[in-house]
Amino acid sequence: MVSTPTETSTEFKAIQDQALVLEFNQVGIADVPIVGGKNASLGEMIQQLASQGVNVPNGFATTAYAYRYFIESAELEHQLRQLFAQLDVDNVLSLQAVGQQARSLMLQTPFPQPLQDAIAAGYARLCAQYGEDTDVAVRSSATAEDLPDASFAGQQETYLNVHGLPGVLDACHRCFASIFTDRAISYRHQRGFDHFTIALSVGVQKMVRSDLAASGVMFSIDTETGCKDVAFVTAAYGLGENVVQGAVNPDEYFVFKPTLKQGFRPIVRKRLGTKEIKMVYDVGGSKLTKNITVPPCDRQLYAITDEEVLQLARWACLIEDHYTQVRGTYTPMDMEWAKDGITGELFIVQARPETVQSQKVGNVLKSYSLNGAQQHATVLTVGRAVGEMVGQGTAKVILDVNRINEFKPGEVLVTSRTDPDWEPIMKKASAIVTNRGGRNCHAAIIAREMGIPAIVGCGNATDLMHTGQDITVSCCEGEDGKVYDGLIPFEIREVALDNLPRTRTQIMMNVGNPDEAFSLATIPNDGVGLARLEFIIANQIQAHPLALIHYDRLTDELAHYKLADLTRHYDSKPEYFVDKLAKGVGAIAAAFYPKPVIVRMSDFKSNEYANLLGGKEFEPTEENPMIGWRGASRYYDDNYREGFALECEAMKRVRDDMGLTNVILMIPFCRTPDEGRQVLAEMAKNGLHRGENGLQVYVMCELPSNVILADEFSEVFDGFSIGSNDLTQLTLGLDRDSALVARLFDERNHAVKRMIKQVIQTAKIKQRKIGICGQAPSDYPEFARFLVEQGINSISLNPDSVLKTMLEIAEAEKF
C-alpha cells in the first residue's frame, strides 16, 4: 500500500524509500534515484504539464527499493560480483559470456511474493482505468538514467503489447535481467558507473495504439547543429520502436520555436521518408509485435498532418521550458510520441534531457573540409549526414550482431542498421554507415554521443562496399552525407570564437542552400546579405513556375511526366512551387532569426529559366540574356507576371504564416526608378506592401543607372546591395560569361571602385542602408578594406571567407 503526495514531504519520502511500486502521479523529476529518469519524467509531466494539454498515458513503476529487495532476498550480489571479476569489457567474447551468465542468473531467480503482489496491485489499478487485461508497454529505467551527459537510452529492454498479469510479471522480470545486457555493461564501464550501485526501475504504461497510426521521436533542439530555436520531429507508421532503432527512414520536420510560440505555423522544413515497414500488434501470433510491409501508396504520404506536427512541437516547447525552469539551466529534450489510431489522440510516451548538443562547448568553431580531391573520386553511396565531420578507414561490413567480435578499432562500420547490442564496437569505429534509419535513429544518436560521423539511410550501402575497402565518410558537405572510394585528404580547422574581434561594419553571409543554413548560422555573423531564390528553384523545385500554372498546356511529354511526379504530393501544382519556395526561404530566415535575411527575388536569365522543367515553352531565345529579360523587367510583364505572383505568395507565407518578419526582399536588375515603382505595385497586388508589417524592400545596385540615379532609387527602396559582378561587367562593358575578355574582369578596377564610392556616399546622404553581396570582398582582402574606408554598412561574404575577412575588416577599422 503506497501513500499519496498529499502527505507531508518527509513522511512521503520515507514511504517512497520503502515502496515496491509507485504510481506515475506519485513521482516527479526529483525521484530519479527511486524510479529512474524515464519514470520520474513521466510522473513529472503528468503532474505538471497535463493541465497545459500535454497528454501522457498513465502507469506505475517498480522502485529502486524493489530491485534491491529482489537482489538481496536472493543473495544475488555475491554471485554477480564473482562473475564480473572475470570480465574483460574490451573483449567482445568475454563481454558476451559474462552478460549471458548474469542475465540467466537473474531470470532463474523468482520474484519474491511481496514484489509480485505489488506489481499485481499496480496492474489491477491500471486495468480499472483502461479495461480488463489492458495492453501495456513495460520499459526499463535505470536509476542513473537521463543524466545531463549520459542518456542510458536503449541500454535495457522494452516490451510492447503486453497483456494480462502473467505477461506483465514476466516482462518486469526480463527488464530486471536486462540491467546486464552486453551493451549496458559496456556503457556503464565506459561512463565510469559501478554495476552494483545502479538499480533498475520498471515502468508499466498504458499502450498507445500507434500500431494503427503513427509514432516517432522529436527533439527540442537541432540534433546536428545544436540550434536551440527548432523542434525536430520524425514520424513513421506503427509502433515507435522502428524509428528509435533506425529500422525505417521516417518523415522529418523542422518547426521554428520562437514564432510557433507567438501563434504562427512555422514548419520550415519537411522531408518525406521511405517508411517501408511498420511494427504492429501480433494479434493471435506467437510474438507480441511484428513488422509488416507498408503499401507503396502509403509510403508516398506523410504519416501525420501538419497540424499534428505543430501540436507536437508546441508540446516540445512546453516540456523544454518546464525542465529548463526546474533544472535552472537550459535543458533541451529528447522525446518519444505516439498517435492512437483508435481515438486519433497524440501522446508523449517518454521524455529525457538531450545529452549531446547541450554538452558541447560553444566557444570553439571546429570545421571539416575536403581538399577538392573528392571532385575526382567515386561516390559509393549517399545518405543522411550525421556529425558534420569526416571519418575514414577500412570498411567492415557486418550484417549479423553475433559477428561484432570481428570488428577492429579504427574501421568503418557498414551495416544495415544498429541497435543497442552493437554499442560495444560502435565506440571503436572511425565512422558508421547504415542502409536504414533517420537522423534520430540509434546509429545517429550514438555516433553523436561518441563524436564520430555517420551516414544513415543509404539504402544499399552494404551491397556497394566490401570489407577491406578504403573509404572516406564525409558529413561536411551539407544535409546529404557521401561515402567516397579511397582515402580523401581533409582538413580540420578550429577557431576560438572568444578571440574574434567585433567590427563596426556588419559581417553578413551569402546563403543559397537551405539545407546548410542551420550549420552556417553557427559562424559569427550579422545576418544574411544575400539569399538567392535561384538556388532553391533550381535544386529543390526544379520546375518553371509557368509550367506548373499552365501544366495542361505543356506539349513536352517528358516534362509533363516529370512535373507530375514532382508534384504528386500536392493537390495543386502551383502550390508545390509556393510551398517548396516558402520552406526553403523559411529555413534560412529561421536559422538566422532575428537577424536580417535579405532575400533576392528570382534573377534567372531567360536561358537559365528555359533549362527548368517545362521552361522552354515559356522562354524566348535571346542573343545576350545577361542584359536581356531578367530581374525586375520580368515581374510586371504579362509573360511572367503569374510566375512572380507565386514568388510573392511564398514570401508572404514566410512573413505572415511563419512569422519570419526578419526577411527583407530585394529586387535585382532594376533599370529605372519607375520600373522599381511598377515592381512594388505588382508586389502590393500580391499582398506584399512595402512598410506593412515592417516589410522592407531593397534594390540591387548592379547597373550604372543604379549609381547615377541612387538619389532617386532611394526614394523608392529602403536600401541597396551592391552586386559587384554585374556592376563590374556593365561598367567595363564586358560579358563576364565570355572567356575571351575574362582577363579584363576585375572589381578592383578604378572605374568600378569610383562607382561604388559614389553610391555609398549617396546612400549615406539619403540615410539608406547599403551593403555589398558580390564576390569581390571574399576574394580580395584589399577590396574589403576599401569598402570599410568608404563607410559601407555591411559586407556579405561567402561562408568560407567570413572569419578571415572579419579579421581584415577589424584591422582596417583601426585606422
Instruction: For residues 726 and 722, give the distance between their C-alpha atoms in angstroms, rounded to a whole number.
Output: 9
DSSP characters over 23-39: EGGG--GGGHHHHHHHH
Asked if 432 and 475 touch (Cβ cutoff 8 Å), the reply is no
Cell of 330: 537550459
Asked if 261 and 322 touch (Cβ cutoff 8 Å), the reply is no
Cell of 189: 564501464
Distance of CA 674 to CAs 350, 633, 671, Å? 60, 11, 9
- Name 238's Cβ contacts closer than 8 Å, sequence gap at least 6: 210, 211, 214, 215, 277, 278, 279, 280, 291
317 catalytically annotated: no
> Strands of 200-206's sheet, edge to edge?
21-23, 59-62, 200-206, 136-142, 158-162
Strands (DSSP E) found in 435-512: 454-456, 470-474, 480-485, 490-496, 506-511
227 catalytically annotated: no
Q: Single out the residue of 388, 394, 395, 442 nearest to residue 420, CA to CA.
A: 442
**Alpha carbon 203 to its chain's center:** 29
Q: Let me know how many helices (H) and strands (E) the chain has, helices first.
A: 31, 30
Instruction: For residues 431 and 381, give the distance between their C-alpha atoms in angstroms, rounded to a whole number.
Output: 14
> Strands of 214-219's sheet, edge to edge?
267-271, 251-256, 230-237, 214-219, 333-339, 346-353
- Name 572's Cβ contacts closer than 8 Å, sequence gap at least 6: none
Q: Single out the residue of 299, 235, 233 nearest to residue 266, CA to CA.
A: 233
Catalytic residue among 175, 317, 322, 442: 442
Which amino acid is residue 576, in one-letter code?
A: Y
- Name 115's Cβ contacts closer than 8 Å, sequence gap at least 6: 20, 62, 66, 69, 70
Cell of 516: 546548410
SS3 content of the chain, % helix, strand, coil (to 5): 45, 20, 35
Asked if 157 and 142 touch (Cβ cutoff 8 Å), the reply is no
Distance of CA 170 to CAs 69, 287, 290, 349, 507, Å? 17, 14, 19, 22, 62
Question: Which residues are known catalytic residues?
Answer: 442, 773
